Amino acid sequence: MGSISETNGPVKCAEKPLAGRVALVTGGSRGIGRAIALKLAGIGADVAICGRDSAKLSASEKELAATGVRAVAIAADVTKSGDVAKLVERVDKELQPIAILVNNAGMGLFGPFHEKSEEEWDRLIDTNLKSVFLVSRAVVPGMIKRGGGDIINISSLAGKNVFAGGGIYCASKWGVQGLSGCMAEELREYGIRVSTVCPGSVATEFGGRGPKDPTKVLRPEDVAHAVAMLAMQGEQSFVSNVELRPLKKA
């Protein structure tokens, strides 16, 4: 990366390579999203987070502000286009236009597909897939106007593999993979990179398929490290997909 941000202008230092850039992390009040937000703040980005839990948003906002960057936490439902429009407008107003979008909001729902309800299908697909479409659609016009940006979608190894009991979840993450790939091809000519991060099992409160051995799963900070790497790519490079696995097999 050069010492000057072509998009935003301020001088960067080696310790704060994202200084002068604004990142929005959806689902940023806990788990992987919180770790990503803190990592990006730690390397200089001003950070906006959104979620549905006001108490957790407030606590995470204080942690982010303590790193010395500007931070804002906004209650929003990213499955609703009206909420998304207000979210992006407020980030632009209180910080500045979004240069890095991390679509992290997600949920888990597991079990035989034929035992799931239509409501469960809609809730999971809206949270894991529709939100990526809605938030990206709201942010992209500004990125095109400014001539660049990074969109990093948190997918899963379940977006490339199948397993019994994962029907709806896998469908959502395979959808994220397909949508992300098409977005990347459509937007690269505008200087916008769209990447996916596909973690294996991560030690969070996220609903999974059962108890996790903490020595055989990833940490939220591992995912955050991958996101930071993508956000700090050289201006000419494009890493389209990162797969993360625990070192030790379960």
The tens digit of pLDDT for each residue in 43-102 reads 999 999 999 999 999 999 999 999 999 999 999 999 999 999 999 999 999 999 999 999
The tens digit of pLDDT for each residue in 171-212 reads 999 999 999 999 999 999 999 999 999 999 998 765 555 567
Residue 238 class from Cβ within 10 Å (0-12 exposed, 13-18 middle, 19+ buried)?
middle
Q: Is the pLDDT reported for residue 242 higher than 70?
A: yes
Q: Is the pLDDT reported for residue 163 higher than 60?
A: yes
Average pLDDT over residues 16-40: 97
CA dist 19 and 177 (Å) reads: 29
Q: What Rg value do the Cα atoms of the chain yield, rounded? A: 17
Domains plus CATH for the chain? 22-244 (3.40.50.720)
Residue 213's pLDDT band, with cuts at 50, 70 and 90, is confident
CA dist 169 and 27 (Å) reads: 17
Give one DSSP letter per residue of the chain, joined into a string.
Answer: --SB-TTT--B-BTTBTTTT-EEEEETTTSHHHHHHHHHHHHTT-EEEEEES-HHHHHHHHHHHHTTTS-EEEEE--TTSHHHHHHHHHHHHHHT-S-SEEEE-------S-GGG--HHHHHHHHIIIIIHHHHHHHHHHHHHHHHT-EEEEEE--GGGT---TT-HHHHHHHHHHHHHHHHHHHHHGGGTEEEEEEEE--BSSSS--SS---GGGSB-HHHHHHHHHHHHT--TT----EEEE--SS--
Average pLDDT over residues 131-147: 98
Sign of the four-CA dihedral 141, 144, 145, 151: positive
Q: Is the pLDDT reported for residue 169 higher than 80?
A: yes
Q: Is the pLDDT reported for residue 8 higher than 80?
A: no
- Catalytic site residues? 169
